[in-house]
Amino acid sequence: MGVTFPDIPLYRGWGAPVRTESTLRDLELVQGSVPRELNGTLYRCGPDRQYPPMTGDDIFIDGEGMVHMFRFEDGHVDYRSRWVRTERFVLQEKARRSLFGRYRNRYTNDPSVAGKSMGTANTNVVWNGKRLLVLKEDSLPIEVDPDTLDTRSPWDFDGAVRAVSLTAHPKQDWHTNELLTFSYQAKGDCTRDFAFYIADADGRIVHEMWFEMPYPGMVHDFAVTDTHVIVPFFPLITDLEVLKKGGPFYQWHPDKPSYYAVFPRRGRAEEIRWFRGPTVSAGHMMNAYNEGDRLHLDLALYQGNCFEFFPSADGSPYKPAPPQLTRLTFDLSGRSETPEMKLIVSTPDEMPRIDERWMGKPYRYGYMICRQPGARAGDIGMGAIGRIDHQTGELVTWAPGPDCGVQEPIFVPRRPGAPEGDGWLLVLVNRFAEMRSDLVVLDAQNLAEGPVATLRLPVRVRMTFHGCWVPESTARTGRYVA
Site for ligand V55, rule CB under 6 A: 61, 122-123, 137, 220, 283, 465
**Which CB sits closer to ligand V55, 184 or 424?**
184
What minimum distance in Å lies between the beta carbon of 249 and ligand V55?
9
Say how far residue 133 (Cα) sits from the centre of its chain: 13
- Bridge-based pairing of strands 228-233 and 258-264 is antiparallel
**Which CB sits closer to ligand V55, 72 or 222?**
222
Contact between residue 480 and residue 53 where contact means Cβ atoms under 8 Å apart: no
Q: Alpha helix (H) ranges present in 75-228? A: 87-95
> In this structure, what DSSP letter does residue 447 have?
G
What minimum distance in Å lies between the beta carbon of 130 and ligand V55?
26
**Which CB sits closer to ligand V55, 61 or 179?**
61
What minimum distance in Å lies between the beta carbon of 47 and ligand V55?
7
Measured CA distances, 174 to 127, 213, 265, 469 (Å): 10, 29, 16, 11
**Which CB sits closer to ligand V55, 444 or 463?**
463
Contact between residue 231 and residue 182 where contact means Cβ atoms under 8 Å apart: yes
**Which CB sits closer to ligand V55, 171 or 265?**
171
The Cα 424–Cα 62 span in angstroms is: 30
**Which CB sits closer to ligand V55, 61 or 444?**
61
Chain residue whose CB lies nearest ligand V55 = 61
What minimum distance in Å lies between the beta carbon of 120 and ligand V55?
8
What minimum distance in Å lies between the beta carbon of 123 and ligand V55?
4
What minimum distance in Å lies between the beta carbon of 329 and ligand V55?
24
451's CB contacts (< 8 A; 6+ apart) are 31, 32, 440, 441, 442
Q: Where are the beta strands (DSSP E) in 253-348?
A: 258-264, 273-277, 281-291, 294-302, 324-331, 340-343
What minimum distance in Å lies between the beta carbon of 283 and ligand V55?
4
**Which CB sits closer to ligand V55, 49 or 390?**
49
Rounded to 5°, angle at Cα 122 from 120 and 127: 115
